[in-house]
Amino acid sequence: MEVTYVKSVSVAVPLAEPVSFSNRTLMYRDYAIMYVQTESRHEGVDYSLGYEGAELIAEAVKSLLAVTTTQENIR
């Protein structure tokens, strides 16, 4: 099953009120969202909580999956 299309984006969702943990305060939740399609039209969507790193995760998915599909099908 060959991957033919990949889309990976980051999304930041503002919080109504900041959330604090022991070592950080979050003003938003960020997610990396991935969509993959194969040559046989199987599709998959997944996400990862970014912890302020969703953009990095989305870019990593694009670059890592670039070796399995043609460059013009990566968004």
| CATH code for the domain of 12 | 3.30.390.10
36-59: average pLDDT: 90
Look at residue 40 and tell me if it is in a domain. yes
Helix (H, G, I), strand (E, B) or coil at 73: helix
| Reported pTM | 0.74
pLDDT tens digit sequence for 49-67: 988 889 999 988 888 876 6
Geometric angle at alpha carbon 70, from 66 and 75, rounded to 5°? 65
Look at residue 71 and tell me if it is in a domain. no
What is the C-alpha to C-alpha distance for residues 1 and 21, in angstroms, rounded to an integer?
A: 42
Look at residue 13 and tell me if it is in a domain. yes
% of residues, the chain, pLDDT over 70: 85
Is 43 a residue whose pLDDT tops 60? yes
Q: What is the CA radius of gyration of the chain?
A: 15
Look at residue 43 and tell me if it is in a domain. yes
Alpha helices (runs of H) in the chain, residue ranges in sequence order: 54-65
Per-residue confidence (pLDDT) for residue 9, from 0 to 100: 93
Is 73 a residue whose pLDDT tops 60? no
Look at residue 73 and tell me if it is in a domain. no
Residue 50 identity:
G
List beta partners, residue 74: 6
Residue 50 domain boundaries: 3-65
